[in-house]
């Protein structure tokens, strides 16, 4: 019933595939290097933030399920926000290397990818459940 590891698995594969395409575009299209580097940094920060949030949520649910009674101290929003702001500051300081619009746009890569991954995995699970039915009708 715990979907977080499978979501993170597919998010990792999706992110690394996207990063590979971005690195390939750096090699093939030198005129668009700053855009590709912005996409690389933004999607990497987005992936790390999402993975960190997933780890914190998993830890919180494990503690709630075990009933240890520890008070949870939040989901680490400040750390994730600081990481994203650091990436934007990097793009502002080095505009010749990183395109700020590409970086800012790709900071939401992982959440949007998770929506698509969740949709695909839920459709696959529904199909597997319907394949397991025996086809008998209730009369």
pLDDT computed for residue 86 by the predictor: 95
pTM, entire model: 0.84
- Alpha-carbon span 111 to 117, nearest angstrom: 10
pLDDT computed for residue 12 by the predictor: 96
Cβ neighbours of residue 52 closer than 8 Å, sequence gap 6 or more:
76, 79, 80
- Alpha-carbon span 15 to 86, nearest angstrom: 20
Q: How far is CA 112 from CA 72, 97, 119, in A?
A: 27, 25, 11
The tens place of each residue's pLDDT in the chain, 139 residues long, gives 478 889 999 999 999 999 999 999 999 999 999 999 999 999 999 999 999 999 888 888 888 788 776 666 766 889 999 999 999 999 999 999 999 999 999 999 999 999 999 999 988 887 776 666 665 565 5
- Alpha-carbon span 105 to 16, nearest angstrom: 17
Cβ neighbours of residue 84 closer than 8 Å, sequence gap 6 or more:
45, 49, 107
Q: How many residues does the chain have?
A: 139
pLDDT computed for residue 67 by the predictor: 78
């Amino acid at each position: 019933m715990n979907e977080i590891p499978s979501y993170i698995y597919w998010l990792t594969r999706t992110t690394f595939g996207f990063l590979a395409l971005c690195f390939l575009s750096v090699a093939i299209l030198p005129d668009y290097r700053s855009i590709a580097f912005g996409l690389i940094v933004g999607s990497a920060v987005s992936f790390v933030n999402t993975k960190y949030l997933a780890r914190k949520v998993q830890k919180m649910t494990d503690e709630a399920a075990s009933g240890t009674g520890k008070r949870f101290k939040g989901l680490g929003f400040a750390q994730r926000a600081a990481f994203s702001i650091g990436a934007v500051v990097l793009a502002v300081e080095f505009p010749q290397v990183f395109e700020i619009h590409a970086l800012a746009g790709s900071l939401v890569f992982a959440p949007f990818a998770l929506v698509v991954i969740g949709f695909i995995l839920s459709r696959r699970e529904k199909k597997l459940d319907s394949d397991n039915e025996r086809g008998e009708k209730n009369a």
